[in-house]
Structure 1
């Protein structure tokens, strides 16, 4: 008699995710139909505005500008936080030296960093990328350090005995051990980075999605505001399902095999 496979609790049920999306759309439609058109656009109006943005050359340019900043800022912020986290996990002195800076960056409000960056770099890409790196690196750093400190000492002693190179240690010991915290940190950093970059553009940039949002607000283009916001949500969904989840499955493949 064959046994029925036991569903894994590690995976999200896709059917219920679809139900959740439909519930959000129905709630949005209900609120929009009971609100003033100046306060909230309906899903249909937002979709129509989004299609207009897709055919507007200037809107496409604004979108590509923000995407470039997201790719640069999130990548550099995560790389910096991961690199410093690995080094600090191996050296308690460096960890102590970086702790005050880590606390400062995680405690300071992002809007203060935006104001300072505008003074230092003016308006434009350098300012936005600098803010994203400064705000995203501490979260990646903390998760990496926590994971490094939880690595089994017996394994670290074994790789020392076998005299593995630094690259071999990173690939075969530390990256598998850091798979779970790195996956969560990448997801948080990417979603937070998109929000942070759009906010920085909204407060102090001359182009990009945030700048377009500010323009739509100034001319009371309610549907345009919701269309730009929907576009950002679609970006985050695409990044998560097309990039982050495959990376997570790759990093955690050894855990899945171990539970099989």
Structure 2
């Protein structure tokens, strides 16, 4: 019953997101009316273009290629970034050593990594994944490390007094306290993964949605270009709200224990 309540609460919260999308569509329509279809097609025309693409098997294969590249790259970032960030959070000396390197990685624009990856790997899946990992890893690393360094040590001592071992204390208390900073980092890294994947595909001619955008640019087809951008955003939203957010809700169950009878303090 508790899990069902959380699912219904999660679904009900989608109304605010739907309202934000409607506001975006209104601004989009206003821009279309102000500048004309050659500069910005209307949301309705874009939806019609998406419908045409949805009826094509080739379009599904293009979207699936970008999806698997972005999700696999994000999975590598989530695993490696969380492991390294947790290890760094427990070691202040490591954090002092790694922080300047993280600053350097975050300061280099993704397009520079794309050029280097194209030289190293050519127009392949490896190019896209490597650029995703390099671009998004610092965000997840800092989110995990910050979550560990800001955890409540009193809870560790309390669980130790009740006989919990080191492994149980880590997974049951220490790691769960990182969600405040870790899952926002996951959401940002996921968005970065899709953006970088499309950008790398576009510049390296590696197919996928980026390759389709390059073709739309050559044909000056604004409606198709916006349709592919919309498809990339739809895929991003689907992955976040079917993968990241449900896991966060399941892990954050302990936070609701501090809200008796549903009343927030």
Q: Which residue pairs with 1:61 in the alignment?
A: 61
Shift of 1:245: 2.0
Deviation string for 1:199-230 (max 9, x for gaps)? 11111132110111011111111110010011
Of stretches 87-96 and 110-119 in structure 1, the one that deviates more from structure 2 is: 87-96
Using a 3 Å threshold, how does the CA distance of structure 1 residues 160 and 17 change in structure 2: closer, same or farther? closer
Runs of 4+ in 1 over 3 A off after TM superposition: 10-19, 154-163
Deviation string for 1:165-195 (max 9, x for gaps)? 43x2331122221121122111111112111
Unmatched segments (≥5 aa) in structure 2: 1-9, 261-265
Shift of 1:117: 1.0
| Pairing of 1:40-59 with structure 2 (within 5 A) | 40-59=40-59
Note the aligned Cα RMSD (angstroms).
2.2
Q: The residue matched to 1:131 in structure 2 has which SS?
A: helix
Q: Hey, what's the Cα distance between the residues in 2 that align with 1:11 and 1:101?
A: 40
Q: Which residue pairs with 1:5 in the alignment?
A: none
Tell me the TM-score normalized by structure 1.
0.88
Unmatched segments (≥5 aa) in structure 1: 1-9
Of stretches 92-101 and 219-228 in structure 1, the one that deviates more from structure 2 is: 92-101
Q: Hey, what's the Cα distance between the residues in 2 that align with 1:17 and 1:127?
A: 33
Q: Hey, what's the Cα distance between the residues in 2 that align with 1:98 and 1:181?
A: 18
Q: Hey, what's the Cα distance between the residues in 1 that align with 2:128 and 2:229?
A: 18
Q: Hey, what's the Cα distance between the residues in 2 that align with 1:226 and 1:69?
A: 21
How many positions carry a matched residue from both structures? 250
Q: Which residue pairs with 2:70 in the alignment?
A: 70
Tell me the TM-score normalized by structure 2.
0.86
Q: The residue matched to 1:185 in structure 2 has which SS?
A: helix
- Aligned 8 A contact 2:118 2:127 in 1: yes
Shift of 1:24: 1.9
